[in-house]
Amino acid sequence: MSGDRTRSTRAVTSSELLSVVAARELAGRRTVFAGIGLPTLATELARLTVAPGIEVVYESGVCGAHPSHLPETIADAVLITGAEAVVSMATLFGSVLQGGHIDVGFLGAAQIDRWGSLNTSVIGEWESPSVRLPGSGGAVEVMANAREVFVVMRRHTPRSFADVLDFCTTPGPDRALADGIRPLGAGVTRVITELGVLARAGVGDELRLVAVHPGVSVEQVRAATGWELKTAGRLATTAPPTSAELRLLRDDVDPNRVYLR
């Protein structure tokens, strides 16, 4: 169809690129703890491509949602009607997350450091912040208990990729270890940004640049990062979204462009 052709050949937006890259990273993963927005697009696209059996668990307690419409929030009524299960907060955080049933947790943050620790509490001093942010929600629990964590950051700036966090709300496993407690998961293993992809393997490893998006230089990413960013031995360039990925994202996953801003 000429309409489809127009859609799939339209210039790729930043949201589309981030969704496609995140979806590819979900290959082989089974259970994902995700919020609404880019993670929704990534997991739905992954379901249609690299991870057909993927199950999303929402922070509201919904497991195995089959929504009739794209949900606007994690508590959208369309996630509940027709879902496979809805559990209480005690079961969700206690048994599902802390019980070790989540492969990948998606988190966002105002600041991230090279060890994958996150700040979602304050900019400035905690006691008298210049900006009060929403706080942890369940992020502390997701980081402590999911096998690994993916972080999606729309903006890649030295302030958000901080040498030192203003406040550590959600510690990565290296900080947990320094506090004398053995971490259960690997912490942040992927950070997907507007410029490229950063990765780390687990405890003792810092985030390194593993891929730049088409048209982005290593120097550009380094300049946008608040610490001395190391680069992987084999630096990749992100393969641009395929026409099949774009068609699925634009026509099937989010035809009304609720999240594809």
85 binds another protein (CB under 8 A): no
Is 127 near another protein (CB under 8 A)? yes
Query: Does 140 participate in binding another protein (rule CB under 8 A)?
Result: yes
179 in contact with another protein (CB under 8 A): yes
Least spacing, CB of residue 105 vs another protein, in Å: 13
What is the footprint of another protein within residues 198-237 (CB under 8 A)? none
Instruction: Please report how close the Cβ of residue 21 comes to another protein at its closest, in angstroms.
Output: 22
168 touches another protein (CB under 8 A)? yes
Does 60 interact with another protein (rule: CB under 8 A)?
yes
In terms of DSSP H, where are the helices of the chain?
2-9, 14-25, 38-48, 77-80, 89, 139-145, 173-178, 218-223, 243-247
| Cα gap 81→67, rounded to integer Å | 7
Figure out which of the listed residues 141, 148, 245, 254 binds another protein, where binding follows CB under 8 A: 141
Neighbour-count burial for 98-129, b at 16+ CB within 10 Å, e otherwise: eeebbbbbbbbbbbbbbbbbbbbbbeeeeeee
Q: Is 67 left (phi over 0), alpha (psi -120 to 50) or beta?
A: beta
Which segment (46-54, 164-172, 202-210, 246-254) binds another protein by CB under 8 A? 164-172
* Nearest Cα residue to 209 out of 193, 225, 229: 229
Q: Is the dihedral of CA 147, 142, 43, 15 positive or negative?
A: negative
14 binds another protein (CB under 8 A): no
59 in active site: yes
Choosing from 59, 141, 148, 245, the catalytic residue is 59
Decide if residue 67 touches another protein (CB under 8 A).
no
Strand partners, 244: none
Residue 14 or 136: the one with the smaller Cβ distance to another protein is 136
Binding residue (CB under 8 A) for another protein from 13, 28, 126, 243: 126
d(CA 52, CA 65): 14
Verify binding: residue 72, another protein, rule CB under 8 A: yes
Number of residues near another protein (by CB under 8 A): 62
Among 67, 129, 202, 240, binds another protein (CB under 8 A): 129
Q: Look at residues 106, 41, 1 and name the one whose alpha carbon lies nearest to residue 246.
A: 41
Task: Give the Cβ contact number of residue 168 at 10 Å.
Answer: 16
Q: Which residues contribute to the site for another protein (CB under 8 A)? A: 35-37, 59-62, 72-77, 80-82, 86-90, 93-94, 97-98, 117, 121, 126-141, 144-145, 167-172, 174-184
Show which residues are catalytic: 59
